[in-house]
Structure formats: structure tokens, C-alpha cells
Structure 1
């Protein structure tokens, strides 16, 4: 996979700090999903642990690289969702995981270099876990680095964010995004980029998964509901069974297009009878519903309420 052009500035800045022996003890890699934060993390950690790095990149042949590629490097630990006692994956990162991680970072490096740990997604830490991590951030051991990854960093406490060097991955400009999508083989790169609201990584993921067809399905559903031909209950069940968060993304995007069309006196694509204020309220409700689907509330009822309001 080619390295995205929007990584270059972040990479150069980190390598300059490495040459000055001024790397931070805590990094926060944040930004929208799909921009390659995890690939950036892997490349950076692999090069940092490598015994013979070349301009920050790993050689790929030393013992450290071989261990890292095998997932058995003793000086690197990756923390994510754990399992409950019944074997079901948790939906958050809990305090016991952070305490175990802190104890690991307090030990000496087996290779005599960095001890590195990553937490992904860091915005999934519950309150107790975040409080436990704060102590580790305030009192870092020598030659240790903690790297947090978050698609939604605003869910993390400000006390955590303020103690990390932030690397914020932002949406790149249109031209390099289209060029990169074409380079990695995405057909109709411009349409895919529009569907992903300018996020090239998300556009690539959806194109590879065949998910872009859902964009048209969602618009057809909303148009049918607006004209009284659709069944909100059947539609909510169908959405819930097939990528509901993604469908809500496309729904909000379609309503935004509807509002723009009205503002420029063009034909409204969804033919909604809602006025401008109601359209904005529905757009905001769709985004709130997408967030609420992560919680304990019943998804079918959330979607039914939202679609009922549209009709």
C-alpha cells in the first residue's frame, strides 16, 4: 500500500524530533476514521524499535523487525477491547487493563531501547480507566512511549488529551485525494470521495466493501417516505440489519444536499415536505441517532422514531 501524501508532514515532524532525541512520552493520533492512523502507528513503532532504521523506517530484516512483524516483540504491547468473563468482547476499555499496561511499562526494556504501548481506541476507555491512565501520563518512566489512537478524541477527558502530543489527521485537499484513490484502484474516485464527504480513506474502504450502493438505496428510501410510499417500520428493520451507522451517515448527507438544493433554488432531490428548520433538525437528529446506536438503547426504536419524523 502506498503511503498517503497527507502523512508526510506528520512523519517528518516526528522524525525531526527523533533526531533531536526529543520524542514525547505520549502521543495522541486522532482524526476521522479512514485516514491511515493505524498504518502510521505501525510504521512509526516498527521504525522506532528497529535496530537498523533508515530515515525512520524499519529495515525489515533485524531481529526486532522480525519479532514485531510476528506480533511477539517484548517491548511493544497493543491494548484494545478485552473479553468479559463470559468470553464476550467488551464495548469499553476498563481499569484493570490500564493497570496491567502501566505495570508493563514500568519494567525495563528487553532490547535496551524503547518500551512502547498503544491504546486503540483510546476514546473507548471508561472513566475509571481514564483516571488510572492519567497517573501513568503524569509520571512516565524513562524510555517509555504511550500512543493513543482515537477517531473521536472529544470523548476522552481533557486531562488526558492535554498530556499528549497531538497529531491531528485532517482531511486532505480534493486533488491529492482523488489522485490517491485512483492510484489504489478505486473506480469513479470522484463519486466515492463525494460519498465519503471528502475522506479518501473512507471512500476507499466503502468502495472495496461495495458499500457505495447503499448511498443510493438510502436516498430512494427517504424519497419514498417523503411521498408516502414507504413503510417506516419495515425500513427501520432493514437499516438496522445492514450497516445502520453507515446508512445514517448517507441519510444525513442526503438531507444536507436537500438543504443546499433549496438554498440555490434547485430541484430538491428527496422531495421532502419538511421546511428548512425541520430539515436541519432532522439532519442533527440523524447524527445523534448514529451516536446513540453505540449505546444500550434499542436500535430499531431509535431508527423508527427518526424515520417516522421524516415521513
Structure 2
């Protein structure tokens, strides 16, 4: 197992608690996507269930490790998006799933050790599911660990967050991130890291899937619209056809860069006609638009409203 450099402290603290037999009954792994929360949790769970771990690291060869690798370990329960009756994957975790989980946890561990539950993404639980989980958190069964994973922990009720031992995953220093990216073979590491807002995992993905080109497209589009040359509907069609959430990320990033350029007296990259207050408001509007994509609103209308405000 190879931990990412920024995982070392959290791993050491968690293993120290395990060695003292002082693990909490619930963990909340929180932080932006791309920082390796899920890899961290998978490695910890493997070590916790392993029959011959070494310093918390799974041996990989015992019966328990084989079952975990096959996805059939009876004491490892994974909870995520279920299926509706029509076979379509749900967009939220529902109360029936939590009730089934509670019944499952009422039974003893089949291996006589830990029972581990992972809920991912925990911030996708609806209100009824979160309320049902609260009872399980308040009345934990012995030798049971519930591990919640959330890219946006603020979406979880405070009552849930307060009953979990929280492990926050934050972007590392730029130096650490660049060293890791170069070790991963990322050639244009600085540009990728800038595009990803300092998130090295996201930067590694974006360096190879065309994101840097998309970032340039967004800035070109915004500059053209500011000058009255661009066609907002054509821009909407292109952004919507690709990855609208990513385009909105880059749009907000571009507005922030424009504000910084104004503050430092540099050449304005976008030539926005908005004043500072309007530009700051547009930055916030772009971030809200990205959140709105999760809801029932039409994506093209969300994008068009944002671009109309830019012009």
C-alpha cells in the first residue's frame, strides 16, 4: 500500500487509536473529491479486517483479504446509490437502505471481529435516511465502525457530523502537490494544478482528459462575450455537451483571476465590462450555478442566465 504524502498524518493518528483499542464507532472522511479519501478508507478497512495485519496494513493473502478483494466479505457492508423499482439508479440514499442496514447490524460479526459499514456518498442521504442513521449512530453496536465519505460534508445534518470522528482531507502545499504529480508522470504539473485549484488528484485526472484545453476555451468564450463578439447560445451548447460542471468551475476561476489582476494592476485577461462588485457577484453566481446542476432546473437555462449576466 502506498499512501499519498498528505495522508501520512491522518493515517498515523488513526492507527494509533486502533492500537489503543480506541477507535470511534463512526468516522467522517470529508473533503473535496480528488484527494484520495476513498483510497485511504479502503486501505484502512482492509487492514482492520485483515487477519494478519502489519502496522495496520493488510497482508493481502489471508482469507479475509481475499474476501475483501472479491467484494464478498460478510462483515463489510457498502452503502451507496440503490436502484428504483424501474431499475434506474437513484440520485440519493433513501431511508429503506438505512433501515435494512440497521437490521443487518443487529446480527453478530461472522468472522468474530469488526463489522464495517461504508456510506458513500454520505452527503447524498435524504432527510429521512439521515434521521434513520442518527439512531444507529446514537446506539452503536459493539465492534462496529461506520465510515461516512462526503465530498461536501456541509450537506450532512449537524447532528450526523457531530456524532462522527471527522478526518478532513485538504489540498497539500503546492510543493508537495507538484512533487507528487511529477512522480505520477504529469508533464505540465503547474498548469494542471492551477486548473484544479491546488487539488493534486483532480490535477492528475485533468492533465490527461482535455481539461486544460477546456479551461482555455472558457476564458476565450468569456473574453469574446465581454467584447460583444460571442454567441451565448453557441457557448451554452458547447458547455452543456461536454461537462457543464467543469466549465462552470473554470468560469468561476476565470472571474477570480480577473479580480486578482485588477487588484494588482495587471493586464486584464478577460476584459470584463463588470465593475468589481459585479464581477465578485458573478463569481458567486457561477458557483451557485454549478450547485444548481444537481437540481431539477434545465442545464441550458442555468448556463444561459449566467452568460447573460456576464454580457
* TM-score class normalised by the smaller sequence: over 0.9
Instruction: Confirm or deny that 1:276 pairs with 2:281.
Output: no
TM-score by length of 2: 0.99
SS state at 1:209 partner: coil
Residues 194-273 of structure 1 mapped to structure 2, 5 A cutoff: 194-273=194-273
SS state at 1:166 partner: strand
Indicate the larger mover: 208-217 or 266-275. Answer: 208-217
Cα deviation, residue 209, structure 1 = 2.2
Cα deviation, residue 236, structure 1 = 1.1
Note if contact 1:81-1:92 (Cα within 8 Å) is conserved in structure 2: yes
* 2: CA distance, partners of 1:116 / 1:214: 40
SS state at 2:219 partner: helix
* 2: CA distance, partners of 1:198 / 1:214: 17
Cα deviation, residue 3, structure 1 = 2.1
Note if contact 1:34-1:202 (Cα within 8 Å) is conserved in structure 2: yes
* 1: CA distance, partners of 2:289 / 2:176: 32
Indicate the larger mover: 133-142 or 231-240. Answer: 231-240
Q: Which residue of 1 aligns with 2:89?
A: 89
* 2: CA distance, partners of 1:95 / 1:235: 40
* 1: CA distance, partners of 2:41 / 2:247: 29
Cα distance per residue 1:245-271 (max 9 Å; x no partner): 000000100110000001111110001
* 2: CA distance, partners of 1:249 / 1:12: 34
Q: Which residue of 2 aligns with 1:111?
A: 111
Cα deviation, residue 210, structure 1 = 2.6
Aligned pairs, number: 311
SS state at 2:148 partner: strand
* 2: CA distance, partners of 1:308 / 1:89: 34
SS state at 1:51 partner: coil
Q: Which residue of 2 aligns with 1:177?
A: 177
Note if contact 1:105-1:116 (Cα within 8 Å) is conserved in structure 2: no
The unaligned stretches of length 5 or more in structure 2 are none
Residues 52-201 of structure 1 mapped to structure 2, 5 A cutoff: 52-201=52-201
* 2: CA distance, partners of 1:186 / 1:4: 15
Deviating beyond 4 angstroms after TM superposition, the runs of 4 or more aligned structure 1 residues are none
The unaligned stretches of length 5 or more in structure 1 are none
* 1: CA distance, partners of 2:174 / 2:216: 22
* 2: CA distance, partners of 1:232 / 1:101: 48
* 2: CA distance, partners of 1:194 / 1:45: 33
* 2: CA distance, partners of 1:208 / 1:259: 29
- Aligned residues: CA RMSD: 0.9
* 2: CA distance, partners of 1:113 / 1:210: 46
